[in-house]
């Protein structure tokens, strides 16, 4: 039985990954979820697995050296899947320090603990693997409509968030190059799906549209992102963990580039299609809610992934077309409005007011 140490498992992608893995492998695997529960961590996401004998949650900060070392002393960890991070670009522009602490120093701490636990006089114990869940933002931005990010594209991050993720990637690379540490790095494009915190474009627009509130579009709305349904990302990570050669880097993307303004309009159209004719929330639902606001500082123009390497080496391809994924996502939010209410209360409400009312 393989034991997975999943960091950041109470966040958006981490909780989707844990749910996916426990559904796929059932009790053939054990999952230890380490998360310190920042504003973005929500144990409610994991309700359906919390009582399983092969699932355990530990409320621990990945920067806490003693606590992380103790996990590796207590459990025979086979795989580390490292999601835990400060993940929101806008927050990094306001407060970079926490991004360096968690994303850079936290990663170093995990690498060290895994190295201590896994290294022997004869090299690393067989079957061990560390996965650094990284982002396409490490490549910077593509200008114009042409071209893709490849694994060979030079790293050129712009925001404090992407700079911290790039720094973490370079630390992982240094462990592979220096110690032959068994790791892979995955670099994925924008994810969407259930449990995404509504500070990110898609759930923010769904939430505001349902309340008849303004839909803030940064700058011209022409910036492009490459959207991937979160379960497809989880499948790719599972495959890289099981099959990829140590040291390889894989880009993961949806082949689904869309301008932000297109995304906002698709959400409005899909909501109008899905809501019953007599639903009160249809009343204010129109393109009139779209409000162009001040642009993000240093806003990367376009991201687009060429997932050729992961297709050729491991046979992974995005499975969920956007037209299907966005319906699944909207349906999930419509069924889980109470989840949305709870996560947008308190601290997030203060952040939202600061971002969109008092100006950035």
Name the residue nearer to ligand NAD (CB basis): 56 or 282. 56
- Helices and strands (H, E) in the chain, number of each type: 13, 14
| Surface-to-core class of residue 37, CB atoms within 10 Å of its CB (0-12 exposed, 13-18 middle, 19+ buried) | middle
User: How far is residue 192's CA from residue 360's CA, in Å, rounded to a whole number?
Assistant: 24
Residue tagged active-site, from 137, 248, 257, 300: 137
Cβ 298 vs Cβ 243: under 8 Å: no
Using alpha carbons, select from 174, 311, 149 the residue that is nearest to residue 243. 311
Name the residue nearer to ligand DAU (CB basis): 16 or 87. 87
User: How far is residue 146's CA from residue 142's CA, in Å, rounded to a whole number?
Assistant: 8
Residues 3-22 that bind ligand NAD (CB under 6 A): 7-8, 10-14
The answer to whether 97 is a known catalytic residue is: no
Residue tagged active-site, from 78, 136, 238, 300: 136
Residues 20-79 that bind ligand NAD (CB under 6 A): 35-38, 40-41, 61-63
The answer to whether 161 is a known catalytic residue is: yes
User: How far is residue 210's CA from residue 337's CA, in Å, rounded to a whole number?
Assistant: 10
- Least gap, CB of 193 to ligand NAD (angstroms): 10
The answer to whether 136 is a known catalytic residue is: yes
Q: 314 Cβ partners below 8 Å, 6+ apart? A: 239, 240, 243, 244, 250
Confirm or reject binding of residue 133 to ligand NAD (CB under 6 A). yes
| Surface-to-core class of residue 263, CB atoms within 10 Å of its CB (0-12 exposed, 13-18 middle, 19+ buried) | buried
Q: Which residues are near ligand DAU by CB under 6 A?
A: 87-89, 135-137, 189-190, 200-201, 204, 216-218, 223, 225, 260, 296, 303
**Binding string, residues 286-315; x marks residues near ligand NAD by CB under 6 A:** ------------------------------
Site residue total, ligand NAD (CB under 6 A): 30
- Least gap, CB of 303 to ligand DAU (angstroms): 5
Residue tagged active-site, from 55, 130, 148, 161: 161
Q: 294 Cβ partners below 8 Å, 6+ apart? A: 218, 219, 359, 360
Q: Which residues are marked as active site? A: 136-137, 161
Contact footprint for ligand NAD (CB under 6 A)? 7-8, 10-14, 35-38, 40-41, 61-63, 83-87, 102, 106, 133, 135, 165, 188, 190-191, 197
């Amino acid at each position: 039985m393989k034991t997975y140490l999943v960091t950041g498992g109470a966040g958006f992608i981490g909780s989707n990954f844990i749910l996916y893995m426990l559904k796929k492998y059932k009790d053939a695997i054990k999952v230890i979820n380490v998360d310190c529960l920042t504003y973005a961590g929500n144990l409610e996401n994991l309700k359906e697995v919390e009582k399983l004998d092969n699932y355990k949650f530990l409320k621990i900060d990945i920067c806490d050296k003693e606590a992380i070392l103790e996990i590796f002393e207590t459990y025979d960890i086979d795989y580390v899947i490292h999601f835990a991070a400060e993940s929101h670009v806008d927050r990094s522009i306001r407060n970079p320090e926490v991004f360096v602490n968690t994303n850079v120093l936290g990663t170093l701490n995990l690498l060290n603990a895994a190295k201590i636990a896994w290294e022997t006089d004869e090299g690393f114990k067989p079957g061990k693997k560390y996965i650094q869940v990284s982002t396409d933002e490490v490549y910077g931005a593509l200008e114009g409509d042409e071209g893709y990010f490849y694994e060979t594209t030079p790293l050129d991050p712009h925001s404090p968030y992407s700079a911290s993720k790039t720094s973490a990637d370079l630390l992982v690379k240094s462990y592979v190059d220096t110690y032959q540490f068994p790791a892979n790095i995955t670099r994925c494009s924008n994810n969407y799906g259930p449990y995404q915190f509504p500070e990110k474009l898609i759930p923010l627009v769904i939430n505001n549209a349902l309340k008849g509130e303004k839909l803030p579009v940064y700058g011209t709305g022409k910036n492009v992102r490459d959207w991937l349904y979160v379960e497809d990302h989880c499948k790719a990570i599972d495959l890289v963990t099981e099959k990829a050669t140590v040291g390889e880097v894989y880009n993961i993307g949806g082949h689904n580039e869309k301008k932000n303004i297109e995304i906002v309009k698709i959400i409005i159209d899909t909501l109008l299609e899905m809501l019953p004719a007599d639903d009160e929330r249809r009343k204010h639902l129109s393109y009139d809610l779209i409000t162009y606001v001040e642009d993000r500082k240093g806003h990367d123009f376009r991201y687009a992934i060429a997932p050729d390497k992961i297709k050729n080496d491991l046979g992974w391809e995005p499975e969920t077309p956007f037209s299907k994924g966005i319906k699944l996502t909207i349906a999930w939010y419509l069924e889980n409005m109470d989840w949305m209410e709870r996560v947008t209360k308190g601290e997030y409400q203060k952040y939202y007011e600061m971002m969109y009312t008092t100006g950035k």
